[in-house]
Structure 1
Amino acid sequence: MKNSYKTALLAFAALLFAAGCGKDKIVFPETPTGGEETGYLVLSGMNLGVSADVETLVSGPDASKAPATRTTVDADADFELSITSNTTQATVWEGTYGDIKAMDAPMELQPDRYTLRAASPDAIQPVAWETPEYAGSTEFTIVKKTTTTVSDLVCTLSNIKTTVELSADLKELFLDDGTDDLKTTVSLGEASCVFARDETRAAYFGAAAASNTLTVVLTGRYNVKGEGETPEYQPITMTQKIPNVKAGQWRKIAISVEHADEGNVQLVITVETWVYDEKIDVDVMSSSYSYGEEEIPDIDDETSDPDGPQVSLDGDHLIADPFRISAAIFDFDFDPVRCNDLISLIAAPQGDATIAEAYCVFDSDNAALLAALDGAGYTERKVPLYPDNGAADYAVVRTDNADRLLVKVNDAGMYGLYGYEGTHTAKIVVTDSRNRRTYTPLTLSVAKGGGSETGPAITGLDGFDLDTRHTIAPTDNPPLKVALDVTSATGITGFRIEILGGDVLPANELASLSLAPDMDLLHPATDAMKSRLQELGFLPKDGSSIEGATSMRFDISEFVPAMTVLDGTGNCDFRLTVSDAAGTTVKTLMFNVVH
């Protein structure tokens, strides 16, 4: 996979740099002036492999030293493949591995960045015995008048493998009268599989989300009498949650008895986790069971339960990023004013739980907002959301068929928040039916039209930290994502970029690329410079003007990894200076290129 990624990265570098041999200057291809020019893709020699990683794992202190026995076999001819444009998300080709093997000519494609995906022919089931499914993908770049070859692709497990093993001493302590009532039920959402006393098969679950929770329930009749006494069996039920379960993992569950006395049984669950090309982790969880008694976990104040409801934002927003409210998201031509970017929260319970209660607690650096909440009767600025909606005039609250809680702030609510400039925190507190609670902060950044009284606002998106020097290397996979949100209260009046390229992008090389160490993005010096800035993501690719804009996205994610294939190493910075009627803001993107 690393070789395939490196090949794709070098192809991308060729697209951007068209580098010559040795230490010749780097020259960009000329911007097309007309006509449709294509490139070519060769797949006929591609090897599609399936990584069958089914070795027995070693538990205990030597687990991390266990050698991984991985076997890659050739995929069946009916494996399904597709090629999708990363730009338009359109599928440009679909077929099977057999179709690829039969190809006798290159495939003609438009210049673009593409993703080749392969998957088992059978759809992933919610759960089924011994049904592993496999998938894999790789990216490549098509350059005009150039042939690109994809040589190999390895598919790995795409569902969740689960096995259960009961220790011999545990099975001896449970009644075995032929009824097979000692069983372990493993569930993921609505899908469940029952492992009998001596079950050796593996169950494969479809991953319902990026991170999932397995629920393990052991039931049976346990002997409460000591050795030498007449056995007396009582039914018990033990439940354990296993969080953070993801596609591609094998969760090997082993259940044993630690000790039993005075009406209690101490059950120990050991969960070994194996992930392709990563080390083995071993988690040990103990559960003390009192006969006939089910315990409800206590709630630690302000500490989220990992098995509690997971809160996220719908759409393109991340819950960890500030939600920006500015004039750019409103349509003032309507009465009442309409908002084009509503806050939409999702609270998803885990396992078989449902949402029992939800509310949010506000804090702010704007005293006027806090006073307004107090005046509206919200004690300690706590706004109930569910089961009683205390903000019915400003938000729609409901549950869906998956028992998720959906909270969408309406136009009135968004415009109401817009009236209070500053930084606000809405702490979302959600409790499920098993009394598990999570605390999720949502930061709201409100500025009239965007920006602030001292100038535009420049903020990193998708977790990008503007205050950190980021080390980038050719082996980064996935490559660093570099995207910014630039907002202005009155409209952008100036935007300059200084490239402090050092040995990575020196001035003479920039000149060969139709670029300069200091450039005016509102008024590029030449048409060639403007075209290059659009290609690299410094300006909107659709050619729209940023002058007067109250909001723009600055995304050079595709350009950054290409810097690492050059000879130069060291620091390479991009200083952004953005101005509007209120003032000027300067931020620097800082990188350290290593080989």
Structure 2
Amino acid sequence: MNRQTMKKYFNIAFVALMAIIVAACGKEDPFPPVDGSEVGTLNVKKMVLKIENEENIVRSSVNVGSFLVDICKGDEVVDSYVYSEMPEVITLPVGQYTVKVRSGELQPVAWEAPYFEGSQDFEVKKKEITEVSTVVCKLANVRVSIIFDDSIKNLMSDDSKVNVVMGDGASIDFAKNETRSAYFAYVEGSNTLVATFSGTIQGGQYEEFKAYTDVKPGNHYKITYSLHNGELPDTSGNIVFSGVNVDASVTETDLTINVNPDDEILDDDERPDEDGGDNPPTPPTPGSGPSIVVPDDSDIVLDSVMDIVNGATYKLVITSETGFTVFKVDIISPYLTEDFLAPLSMSTHLDLVNPGQYGEALSGLGLPINVGGKTSETFDISSLVPLLDADPESDVHEFVLTVGDASGTVTKSLKFRNLK
């Protein structure tokens, strides 16, 4: 039997096996009944969480993969998920719903703890597929920063502080050298923020009380303390105070304006300095990229040619701290060419973040799709590799996996051949 004939048989066998897999997946009822009720399907494959925040530094550090998602019908929570672990399709009884997203559990007050919320209404119709696309999440608590002007900072004692109280008595102390921001839960009907400076200045005890009303969620309040009407230094260089000279001024910034989520992140030398009170969390180490791990129950050997063994498990566990931005597979094979794969709704270049027309075929093979923003995925090609065993030659079939996130990109090669 010549090579051309063997290739023909291989092609027929491969197509037949692919058809069996796709057909088996197609037999599942897309609208299974729920307690006898008429149902429809919610498709969240394309659901993207978009953070709208005026301060790019804060937004870029948010891990949307850990956000909590509630499917609500009225006041009832029907289903709850972690965003990165959501199923792609959810079957629900017919009716009106709201998807509510939050960045975690809201705390009364905490350091560097922005809290985001977003929601979108949708309707599930009988035996129809409803899609939820972009859910906009905005800052829903109140950010407070305390700044000490040099005119007062150089003269105040180390134990000087500012106590800030808001909401139902939530309280936190800002020490002299504190540069972090505090985030307060917004309590409806309790929109007053009280800041009290207390400390020693040039041997004198001082206390300055300020109240700010009409405080709004999603805003950043920068309270700056300085000296005013100070006396001139005496002959010894000391300043003699004739009264309370501590002054507090506040700057309010609305952080919920619309922004482009693809805005370029500021370089280190462009970030606000320490006096601005906007110190961001330490960014990920450049170039590190997602983690690719071979689990204990997998037979994969990375970057080596593996002989195909029936019944073997070929999978990887891939994780990212910030969410996937790149997740691609390139097939390099003398048989699995673009011309051969096209009729099977497949390609030699597959994008699992934006699968497009190849999404259904990829799902049929058990591959993850629409993985953008997710923080963990199992890449399992155990159902695909055995199809290569029909190759009449001991050709090497290579799958080049490229995954990336905000910290960098990683590439790994999976190479297979049969035991002919």
Q: TM-score, normalised by structure 1?
A: 0.33
Task: With a CA cutoff of 8 Å and minimum separation of 6, indicate the structure with the bigger relative contact order.
Answer: 2
Q: TM-score, normalised by structure 2?
A: 0.46
The structure with the greater share of residues assigned to strand is 1
